[in-house]
Structure 1
Protein backbone atom coordinates (compact mmCIF):
# COMPACT_ATOMS: atom_id res chain seq x y z
CA UNK A 1 0.00 0.00 0.00
CA UNK A 2 2.78 2.41 0.91
CA UNK A 3 4.51 1.67 -2.38
CA UNK A 4 1.31 2.44 -4.32
CA UNK A 5 0.86 5.75 -2.46
CA UNK A 6 4.42 6.74 -3.25
CA UNK A 7 3.64 6.27 -6.92
CA UNK A 8 0.51 8.43 -6.70
CA UNK A 9 1.76 11.24 -4.44
CA UNK A 10 4.16 13.62 -6.27
CA UNK A 11 7.53 14.05 -4.56
CA UNK A 12 8.00 17.26 -2.56
CA UNK A 13 10.58 18.48 -5.07
CA UNK A 14 8.05 18.29 -7.91
CA UNK A 15 5.42 20.14 -5.88
CA UNK A 16 7.94 22.84 -5.01
CA UNK A 17 9.02 23.27 -8.62
CA UNK A 18 5.38 23.42 -9.71
CA UNK A 19 4.67 26.14 -7.15
CA UNK A 20 7.69 28.13 -8.31
CA UNK A 21 6.59 27.78 -11.93
CA UNK A 22 3.08 28.94 -11.07
CA UNK A 23 4.43 31.94 -9.15
CA UNK A 24 6.76 32.87 -12.01
CA UNK A 25 3.84 32.77 -14.44
CA UNK A 26 1.84 35.11 -12.20
CA UNK A 27 4.76 37.55 -11.94
CA UNK A 28 5.27 37.55 -15.71
CA UNK A 29 1.55 38.05 -16.24
CA UNK A 30 1.61 41.13 -14.00
CA UNK A 31 4.69 42.54 -15.75
CA UNK A 32 3.13 41.97 -19.15
CA UNK A 33 -0.10 43.69 -18.10
CA UNK A 34 1.74 46.74 -16.73
CA UNK A 35 4.17 46.96 -19.65
CA UNK A 36 1.39 46.89 -22.25
CA UNK A 37 -0.58 49.72 -20.64
CA UNK A 38 -0.14 53.32 -21.78
CA UNK A 39 -0.98 54.55 -18.28
CA UNK A 40 -0.16 53.51 -14.69
CA UNK A 41 -2.59 50.86 -13.41
CA UNK A 42 -4.41 50.48 -10.11
CA UNK A 43 -4.36 47.28 -8.07
CA UNK A 44 -7.97 46.63 -9.03
CA UNK A 45 -7.23 47.00 -12.75
CA UNK A 46 -4.23 44.68 -12.51
CA UNK A 47 -6.21 42.13 -10.52
CA UNK A 48 -9.03 42.18 -13.09
CA UNK A 49 -6.68 42.10 -16.08
CA UNK A 50 -4.63 39.18 -14.80
CA UNK A 51 -7.41 37.23 -13.11
CA UNK A 52 -5.41 37.17 -9.87
CA UNK A 53 -6.99 37.72 -6.49
CA UNK A 54 -6.27 41.17 -5.05
CA UNK A 55 -4.22 39.86 -2.08
CA UNK A 56 -2.06 37.79 -4.44
CA UNK A 57 -1.64 40.63 -6.92
CA UNK A 58 -0.85 43.09 -4.13
CA UNK A 59 1.80 40.80 -2.64
CA UNK A 60 3.49 40.22 -6.00
CA UNK A 61 3.32 43.92 -6.87
CA UNK A 62 5.06 44.82 -3.62
CA UNK A 63 7.76 42.25 -4.41
CA UNK A 64 8.26 43.72 -7.88
CA UNK A 65 8.46 47.22 -6.40
CA UNK A 66 11.01 46.07 -3.82
CA UNK A 67 13.10 44.49 -6.58
CA UNK A 68 12.92 47.66 -8.67
CA UNK A 69 11.07 46.25 -11.68
CA UNK A 70 7.99 48.44 -11.24
CA UNK A 71 7.24 51.60 -9.27
CA UNK A 72 4.30 53.54 -7.91
CA UNK A 73 3.28 56.73 -9.70
CA UNK A 74 3.66 60.10 -7.90
CA UNK A 75 0.18 59.65 -6.40
CA UNK A 76 1.21 56.31 -4.93
CA UNK A 77 -1.98 54.55 -6.03
CA UNK A 78 -0.99 53.15 -9.40
CA UNK A 79 1.82 50.98 -10.70
CA UNK A 80 4.01 51.56 -13.73
CA UNK A 81 7.22 50.19 -15.26
CA UNK A 82 10.39 51.34 -13.50
CA UNK A 83 13.54 52.66 -15.12
CA UNK A 84 15.14 49.27 -14.47
CA UNK A 85 12.46 47.50 -16.50
CA UNK A 86 12.64 50.11 -19.25
CA UNK A 87 16.41 49.75 -19.46
CA UNK A 88 16.01 46.00 -19.83
CA UNK A 89 13.68 46.67 -22.72
CA UNK A 90 16.04 49.25 -24.18
CA UNK A 91 18.93 46.79 -23.99
CA UNK A 92 16.87 44.39 -26.05
CA UNK A 93 15.91 47.10 -28.51
CA UNK A 94 19.51 48.29 -28.78
CA UNK A 95 20.38 45.22 -30.82
CA UNK A 96 17.31 45.64 -32.98
CA UNK A 97 16.55 47.85 -35.96
CA UNK A 98 14.38 50.05 -33.71
CA UNK A 99 17.43 51.73 -32.19
CA UNK A 100 18.97 52.45 -35.57
CA UNK A 101 15.71 54.11 -36.62
CA UNK A 102 15.62 56.17 -33.43
CA UNK A 103 19.23 57.26 -33.83
CA UNK A 104 18.55 58.21 -37.45
CA UNK A 105 15.74 60.54 -36.29
CA UNK A 106 17.97 62.00 -33.58
CA UNK A 107 20.77 62.63 -36.09
CA UNK A 108 18.36 64.52 -38.35
CA UNK A 109 17.29 66.66 -35.39
CA UNK A 110 20.92 67.42 -34.53
CA UNK A 111 21.59 68.48 -38.12
CA UNK A 112 18.45 70.62 -38.18
CA UNK A 113 18.81 72.46 -34.87
CA UNK A 114 22.56 72.22 -34.33
CA UNK A 115 22.17 70.96 -30.76
CA UNK A 116 22.82 67.66 -29.02
CA UNK A 117 19.77 65.38 -28.93
CA UNK A 118 19.03 63.13 -25.94
CA UNK A 119 16.60 60.25 -25.52
CA UNK A 120 15.54 60.26 -21.85
CA UNK A 121 13.05 58.60 -19.55
CA UNK A 122 11.51 59.62 -16.23
CA UNK A 123 13.03 57.71 -13.31
CA UNK A 124 11.35 58.73 -10.07
CA UNK A 125 12.42 62.31 -9.37
CA UNK A 126 15.24 62.17 -11.89
CA UNK A 127 15.81 61.93 -15.64
CA UNK A 128 17.81 59.03 -17.05
CA UNK A 129 19.78 59.28 -20.30
CA UNK A 130 19.24 56.24 -22.51
CA UNK A 131 20.60 57.45 -25.84
CA UNK A 132 22.43 60.49 -27.17
CA UNK A 133 23.59 61.99 -30.46
CA UNK A 134 26.00 64.87 -29.98
CA UNK A 135 26.50 67.98 -32.05
CA UNK A 136 29.79 68.68 -33.77
CA UNK A 137 30.29 71.84 -31.70
CA UNK A 138 33.76 71.97 -30.10
CA UNK A 139 32.37 72.62 -26.60
CA UNK A 140 30.07 69.84 -25.44
CA UNK A 141 28.76 68.53 -22.14
CA UNK A 142 29.74 64.91 -21.62
CA UNK A 143 26.93 62.68 -20.35
CA UNK A 144 27.22 58.94 -19.78
CA UNK A 145 24.30 56.78 -20.86
CA UNK A 146 22.42 55.61 -17.78
CA UNK A 147 23.27 58.82 -15.94
CA UNK A 148 20.47 60.20 -13.73
CA UNK A 149 20.00 63.94 -13.19
CA UNK A 150 17.44 65.93 -11.14
CA UNK A 151 14.19 67.01 -12.76
CA UNK A 152 14.20 70.62 -11.58
CA UNK A 153 17.50 71.67 -13.15
CA UNK A 154 17.45 70.09 -16.61
CA UNK A 155 15.51 70.97 -19.76
CA UNK A 156 14.21 67.44 -20.25
CA UNK A 157 13.32 67.22 -16.57
CA UNK A 158 11.23 70.38 -16.78
CA UNK A 159 9.54 68.99 -19.87
CA UNK A 160 8.49 65.91 -17.90
CA UNK A 161 7.31 68.09 -15.00
CA UNK A 162 5.24 70.27 -17.35
CA UNK A 163 3.06 67.25 -18.09
CA UNK A 164 2.28 66.63 -14.40
CA UNK A 165 -0.31 68.11 -12.09
CA UNK A 166 0.86 70.44 -9.32
CA UNK A 167 0.36 67.68 -6.75
CA UNK A 168 2.45 65.24 -8.79
CA UNK A 169 5.23 67.81 -9.16
CA UNK A 170 5.32 68.45 -5.41
CA UNK A 171 5.36 64.74 -4.63
CA UNK A 172 8.17 64.19 -7.12
CA UNK A 173 10.40 67.00 -5.86
CA UNK A 174 9.58 67.17 -2.16
CA UNK A 175 10.31 70.20 -0.01
CA UNK A 176 11.92 73.38 -1.23
CA UNK A 177 14.49 74.83 -1.55
CA UNK A 178 15.71 72.42 -4.20
CA UNK A 179 19.37 71.51 -4.40
CA UNK A 180 21.50 74.09 -6.19
CA UNK A 181 23.84 72.95 -8.96
CA UNK A 182 24.58 76.22 -10.77
CA UNK A 183 23.88 79.92 -10.07
CA UNK A 184 20.85 79.64 -12.38
CA UNK A 185 19.31 76.57 -10.73
CA UNK A 186 15.63 77.04 -9.84
CA UNK A 187 15.23 76.35 -6.13
CA UNK A 188 11.60 77.32 -5.40
CA UNK A 189 8.17 76.16 -6.51
CA UNK A 190 7.08 79.69 -7.47
CA UNK A 191 9.85 80.06 -10.03
CA UNK A 192 9.53 76.45 -11.16
CA UNK A 193 5.78 76.64 -11.82
CA UNK A 194 6.29 79.90 -13.70
CA UNK A 195 8.85 78.14 -15.90
CA UNK A 196 6.57 75.13 -16.40
CA UNK A 197 3.72 77.41 -17.53
CA UNK A 198 5.99 78.84 -20.23
CA UNK A 199 6.91 75.34 -21.38
CA UNK A 200 3.26 74.28 -21.49
CA UNK A 201 2.21 77.36 -23.46
CA UNK A 202 4.96 76.80 -26.03
CA UNK A 203 4.09 73.12 -26.31
CA UNK A 204 0.37 73.79 -26.86
CA UNK A 205 0.84 76.79 -29.14
CA UNK A 206 -0.58 76.13 -32.65
CA UNK A 207 2.02 75.96 -35.41
Structure 2
Protein backbone atom coordinates (compact mmCIF):
# COMPACT_ATOMS: atom_id res chain seq x y z
CA UNK A 1 0.00 0.00 0.00
CA UNK A 2 1.37 3.41 -0.93
CA UNK A 3 1.90 5.93 1.83
CA UNK A 4 -0.01 9.25 1.64
CA UNK A 5 1.93 12.19 0.30
CA UNK A 6 3.02 14.28 3.30
CA UNK A 7 2.91 17.36 1.13
CA UNK A 8 -0.85 17.10 0.77
CA UNK A 9 -1.57 16.01 4.36
CA UNK A 10 -3.04 18.15 7.11
CA UNK A 11 -5.93 20.56 7.21
CA UNK A 12 -6.01 23.93 5.51
CA UNK A 13 -5.65 25.52 8.94
CA UNK A 14 -2.55 23.44 9.69
CA UNK A 15 -0.98 24.57 6.43
CA UNK A 16 -1.80 28.22 7.02
CA UNK A 17 -0.45 28.11 10.56
CA UNK A 18 2.70 26.34 9.41
CA UNK A 19 3.41 29.04 6.84
CA UNK A 20 2.53 31.85 9.22
CA UNK A 21 4.82 30.43 11.89
CA UNK A 22 7.75 30.16 9.48
CA UNK A 23 7.26 33.75 8.33
CA UNK A 24 7.10 35.02 11.93
CA UNK A 25 9.99 33.09 13.45
CA UNK A 26 12.44 33.57 10.57
CA UNK A 27 15.44 35.68 11.58
CA UNK A 28 15.46 37.17 8.07
CA UNK A 29 12.53 37.42 5.62
CA UNK A 30 12.07 34.34 3.43
CA UNK A 31 11.39 33.81 -0.26
CA UNK A 32 8.61 31.63 -1.57
CA UNK A 33 10.94 28.72 -2.39
CA UNK A 34 12.37 28.79 1.13
CA UNK A 35 8.90 28.66 2.68
CA UNK A 36 7.94 25.73 0.47
CA UNK A 37 11.08 23.90 1.54
CA UNK A 38 10.58 24.61 5.24
CA UNK A 39 6.90 23.64 5.32
CA UNK A 40 7.11 20.75 2.84
CA UNK A 41 3.94 21.98 1.12
CA UNK A 42 3.14 21.71 -2.59
CA UNK A 43 3.94 24.96 -4.38
CA UNK A 44 0.33 25.50 -5.47
CA UNK A 45 -0.95 24.98 -1.91
CA UNK A 46 1.72 27.25 -0.43
CA UNK A 47 1.00 29.98 -2.97
CA UNK A 48 -2.74 29.82 -2.44
CA UNK A 49 -2.37 29.85 1.35
CA UNK A 50 0.10 32.74 1.33
CA UNK A 51 -2.29 34.70 -0.85
CA UNK A 52 -5.06 34.19 1.73
CA UNK A 53 -2.79 35.19 4.60
CA UNK A 54 -1.69 38.28 2.68
CA UNK A 55 -5.28 39.31 1.90
CA UNK A 56 -6.06 39.15 5.62
CA UNK A 57 -3.03 41.24 6.53
CA UNK A 58 -1.33 38.46 8.46
CA UNK A 59 1.54 38.20 5.96
CA UNK A 60 3.08 41.02 3.93
CA UNK A 61 4.74 40.37 0.56
CA UNK A 62 7.37 42.80 -0.70
CA UNK A 63 7.15 42.88 -4.51
CA UNK A 64 10.55 44.55 -4.86
CA UNK A 65 12.50 42.00 -2.84
CA UNK A 66 10.14 39.02 -3.30
CA UNK A 67 10.32 38.42 0.45
CA UNK A 68 7.57 37.56 2.94
CA UNK A 69 7.25 39.49 6.23
CA UNK A 70 4.86 39.28 9.21
CA UNK A 71 1.79 41.37 8.41
CA UNK A 72 0.56 44.37 10.33
CA UNK A 73 -2.73 42.58 10.89
CA UNK A 74 -0.97 40.45 13.47
CA UNK A 75 -0.51 43.55 15.63
CA UNK A 76 -4.21 44.30 15.53
CA UNK A 77 -5.06 40.71 16.44
CA UNK A 78 -2.57 40.81 19.31
CA UNK A 79 -4.02 44.11 20.57
CA UNK A 80 -7.56 42.74 20.47
CA UNK A 81 -6.52 39.54 22.22
CA UNK A 82 -4.58 41.26 25.01
CA UNK A 83 -7.42 43.72 25.64
CA UNK A 84 -9.76 40.83 26.44
CA UNK A 85 -7.45 39.03 28.86
CA UNK A 86 -8.47 39.37 32.51
CA UNK A 87 -5.40 39.65 34.71
CA UNK A 88 -7.41 38.16 37.59
CA UNK A 89 -7.68 34.87 35.72
CA UNK A 90 -4.04 34.91 34.68
CA UNK A 91 -2.81 35.71 38.21
CA UNK A 92 -5.19 33.43 40.13
CA UNK A 93 -2.86 30.47 40.56
CA UNK A 94 0.03 32.68 41.66
CA UNK A 95 -2.18 34.40 44.22
CA UNK A 96 -3.14 30.98 45.58
CA UNK A 97 0.52 29.95 45.62
CA UNK A 98 1.47 33.04 47.64
CA UNK A 99 -1.42 32.44 50.03
CA UNK A 100 -0.43 28.78 50.51
CA UNK A 101 3.22 29.71 51.09
CA UNK A 102 2.65 32.56 53.55
CA UNK A 103 -0.79 32.23 55.12
CA UNK A 104 -1.05 36.01 54.83
CA UNK A 105 -3.36 38.34 52.90
CA UNK A 106 -2.70 38.52 49.15
CA UNK A 107 -3.84 41.50 47.08
CA UNK A 108 -4.17 42.05 43.34
CA UNK A 109 -4.58 45.70 42.39
CA UNK A 110 -4.64 47.96 39.34
CA UNK A 111 -3.80 51.64 38.98
CA UNK A 112 -6.54 54.16 38.23
CA UNK A 113 -4.95 57.59 37.76
CA UNK A 114 -3.60 58.34 41.23
CA UNK A 115 -5.36 55.54 43.08
CA UNK A 116 -5.08 51.80 43.36
CA UNK A 117 -8.17 49.65 43.03
CA UNK A 118 -8.13 46.23 44.67
CA UNK A 119 -9.59 43.78 42.16
CA UNK A 120 -8.93 40.53 44.04
CA UNK A 121 -7.98 39.50 47.55
CA UNK A 122 -7.25 36.29 49.45
CA UNK A 123 -7.80 36.82 53.15
CA UNK A 124 -5.20 35.80 55.72
CA UNK A 125 -5.68 32.45 57.40
CA UNK A 126 -5.01 34.33 60.64
CA UNK A 127 -6.92 37.17 62.22
CA UNK A 128 -6.16 40.43 60.41
CA UNK A 129 -8.29 43.49 59.73
CA UNK A 130 -7.17 45.68 56.82
CA UNK A 131 -8.23 48.82 54.98
CA UNK A 132 -8.39 46.95 51.68
CA UNK A 133 -11.44 45.28 50.10
CA UNK A 134 -12.23 44.16 46.57
CA UNK A 135 -13.47 47.18 44.62
CA UNK A 136 -12.14 49.67 47.17
CA UNK A 137 -9.74 52.45 46.19
CA UNK A 138 -6.58 53.38 48.06
CA UNK A 139 -3.74 55.89 47.68
CA UNK A 140 -0.88 54.87 45.41
CA UNK A 141 1.94 56.83 47.05
CA UNK A 142 1.83 54.95 50.36
CA UNK A 143 0.87 51.41 49.33
CA UNK A 144 3.16 48.67 48.09
CA UNK A 145 1.01 47.87 45.06
CA UNK A 146 0.65 51.54 44.16
CA UNK A 147 4.36 52.28 44.22
CA UNK A 148 5.10 49.02 42.38
CA UNK A 149 3.01 50.18 39.43
CA UNK A 150 3.98 53.86 39.53
CA UNK A 151 7.66 52.90 39.28
CA UNK A 152 7.10 51.54 35.77
CA UNK A 153 5.01 54.36 34.30
CA UNK A 154 6.57 56.53 31.63
CA UNK A 155 7.44 60.05 32.71
CA UNK A 156 4.28 61.65 31.34
CA UNK A 157 2.05 59.09 33.07
CA UNK A 158 4.06 59.30 36.27
CA UNK A 159 3.87 63.09 36.42
CA UNK A 160 0.11 62.89 35.97
CA UNK A 161 -0.20 60.22 38.67
CA UNK A 162 1.95 62.18 41.12
CA UNK A 163 -0.30 65.21 40.67
CA UNK A 164 -3.20 63.08 41.90
CA UNK A 165 -1.45 62.16 45.18
CA UNK A 166 -2.60 63.82 48.37
CA UNK A 167 0.59 63.05 50.32
CA UNK A 168 -1.43 62.89 53.52
CA UNK A 169 0.75 61.70 56.41
CA UNK A 170 -0.97 58.53 57.64
CA UNK A 171 1.93 57.33 59.82
CA UNK A 172 5.46 58.33 60.79
CA UNK A 173 6.85 56.48 57.74
CA UNK A 174 4.50 57.85 55.07
CA UNK A 175 6.18 59.45 52.05
CA UNK A 176 4.95 63.03 52.22
CA UNK A 177 6.23 64.71 49.05
CA UNK A 178 7.11 64.12 45.41
CA UNK A 179 10.87 64.01 46.00
CA UNK A 180 10.59 61.23 48.57
CA UNK A 181 8.26 59.28 46.31
CA UNK A 182 10.47 59.61 43.24
CA UNK A 183 13.52 58.43 45.22
CA UNK A 184 11.58 55.37 46.32
CA UNK A 185 10.36 54.65 42.79
CA UNK A 186 13.91 54.62 41.41
CA UNK A 187 14.84 51.86 43.85
CA UNK A 188 11.66 49.93 43.10
CA UNK A 189 12.31 50.06 39.36
CA UNK A 190 15.77 48.58 39.95
CA UNK A 191 14.69 45.82 42.32
CA UNK A 192 11.09 45.19 41.12
CA UNK A 193 10.15 44.98 44.78
CA UNK A 194 7.98 47.61 46.47
CA UNK A 195 7.63 47.80 50.24
CA UNK A 196 4.97 49.39 52.39
CA UNK A 197 6.68 49.78 55.76
CA UNK A 198 3.67 50.83 57.81
CA UNK A 199 3.21 53.80 55.45
CA UNK A 200 -0.56 53.50 55.15
CA UNK A 201 -1.61 51.59 58.26
CA UNK A 202 0.24 51.47 61.55
CA UNK A 203 1.65 48.02 62.26
CA UNK A 204 0.95 46.72 58.73
CA UNK A 205 3.66 46.07 56.16
CA UNK A 206 3.63 44.49 52.73
CA UNK A 207 5.91 43.33 49.95
CA UNK A 208 4.67 43.95 46.41
CA UNK A 209 5.80 43.66 42.82
CA UNK A 210 4.55 44.75 39.42
CA UNK A 211 2.83 42.80 36.63
CA UNK A 212 3.84 44.01 33.16
CA UNK A 213 2.12 43.45 29.82
CA UNK A 214 3.52 42.67 26.35
CA UNK A 215 4.65 46.30 26.01
CA UNK A 216 6.34 46.11 29.42
CA UNK A 217 3.76 48.52 30.83
CA UNK A 218 2.45 48.14 34.39
CA UNK A 219 -1.04 46.68 34.40
CA UNK A 220 -1.37 45.33 37.94
CA UNK A 221 0.53 44.44 41.09
CA UNK A 222 0.50 41.67 43.68
CA UNK A 223 1.30 42.07 47.36
CA UNK A 224 1.71 40.01 50.50
CA UNK A 225 0.40 41.91 53.51
CA UNK A 226 0.99 41.03 57.15
CA UNK A 227 1.20 42.66 60.60
CA UNK A 228 4.74 43.56 61.54
CA UNK A 229 4.62 41.75 64.90
CA UNK A 230 4.46 38.29 63.32
CA UNK A 231 6.93 38.75 60.46
CA UNK A 232 10.63 38.91 61.25
CA UNK A 233 13.20 40.29 58.81
CA UNK A 234 14.13 36.89 57.34
CA UNK A 235 10.51 36.04 56.65
CA UNK A 236 9.85 39.46 55.18
CA UNK A 237 12.79 39.01 52.82
CA UNK A 238 11.27 35.68 51.80
CA UNK A 239 7.97 37.43 51.06
CA UNK A 240 9.79 39.83 48.76
CA UNK A 241 11.39 37.01 46.77
CA UNK A 242 8.08 35.15 46.53
CA UNK A 243 6.03 38.07 45.26
CA UNK A 244 8.70 39.15 42.79
CA UNK A 245 8.84 35.65 41.29
CA UNK A 246 5.04 35.36 41.18
CA UNK A 247 4.73 38.67 39.31
CA UNK A 248 7.48 37.67 36.91
CA UNK A 249 5.54 34.51 36.00
CA UNK A 250 2.29 36.41 35.48
CA UNK A 251 4.09 39.09 33.45
CA UNK A 252 5.54 36.48 31.11
CA UNK A 253 2.05 35.07 30.59
CA UNK A 254 0.91 38.57 29.72
CA UNK A 255 3.61 38.76 27.05
CA UNK A 256 6.28 40.73 28.91
CA UNK A 257 9.92 40.04 28.18
CA UNK A 258 11.50 37.82 30.82
CA UNK A 259 13.98 39.65 33.05
CA UNK A 260 15.45 39.37 36.53
TM-score of the superposed pair, with normalisation by structure 1:
0.47
The structure with the largest strand share of the pair is 2
Structure with greater Cα Rg: 2
